[in-house]
Amino acid sequence: MNGILTPEVLVLGGTGAVGQGVVGALLEAGSPVLVVGRDPGRLAALHEQFADEPGLQTMLGSLSDDSSARALAERVAQRPRPLAAVVAAMGGPYNRGRVVERGGDALSAALQADLMPHVHAVHHLLPLLQDNVHARRYVMIGSPAGLKPWAGYGETSITTAALRMYAQVVHQEAQAVGVRAQMLEVCSPVCTPANAANACIEWPSSLLVGRRVVSLLDGCRDNRAIVRCDSSDAELPRGLLHLEIPPLWRDTAGVA
């Protein structure tokens, strides 16, 4: 049965502001999409937003702890469609405040909320890709806060910098099992309906970010651990995703 059905892309955080753009771009490119989320109301709203798209399916699940992530991976593994790729668009909301005025417990809680869901996801979901005959891509979406400190959002800068390093380590280790794991680093804040009135012209939209994700999944030979996304990436994808094509990137050396 798996040889007949089109492989799907699993999107984590697909109900968020950036995640919705990723979902929209994948559906635009003709890929079946499975979105995992913790909030039934937000999953229902996503279905309503893309009501005319039969390729969208949702699953209630959590990556907040190891046991929940294991249970989720078991359910994903039992699905009839093969899994071609995982896109982790998890992040936020961000806590405002000065790090020097907070105790260690606050930073520990921020790491638990922002970094550990990615750790749980990689641990349990990346192995589902390694024996797959399809594209085998794992993409984490990063933010500009990991490159330099954001005034008033120090915790976010620390946790996203930790995620950036984590992505580079996973990139190296995943190649040994035939999976290309990368971070798509968004170089500016993302323009969303919530901030559109005050957004700068160079801020990419969430759909633009999603189209950049599609370009990484669509036979891309770029094997760098960190791939950047900015307003220069506004071109439309070439066409439908070719998720049946074997990876073309193995002969390319990885550069962080």
pLDDT tens column, 127-167 = 999 877 767 899 999 988 888 887 788 888 999 999 999 99
Q: From 75, 85, 94, 122, select the one nearest 11 (Cα to Cα).
A: 85
Q: What is the pLDDT of residue 144?
A: 84
CA–CA distance, 207 with 22 (Å, rounded to integer): 6
- Distances in Å between the Cα of 255 and the Cα atoms of 6, 43, 138, 171, 182 are 32, 37, 17, 10, 11
What residues have CB less than 8 Å from 144, skipping those under 6 apart?
A: 150, 185, 186, 187, 188, 189
pLDDT digits (tens, 9 = 90+) for 42-101: 999 999 999 999 999 999 999 999 999 999 999 999 999 999 999 999 976 777 888 888
Residue 255: per-residue pLDDT: 36
Q: What is the pLDDT of residue 243?
A: 58
The pLDDT of residue 240 is: 56
**Average pLDDT score over the chain:** 85
Q: What structural domains does the chain harbor? A: 8-229 (3.40.50.720)
164/175 Cα distance (integer angstroms):
17
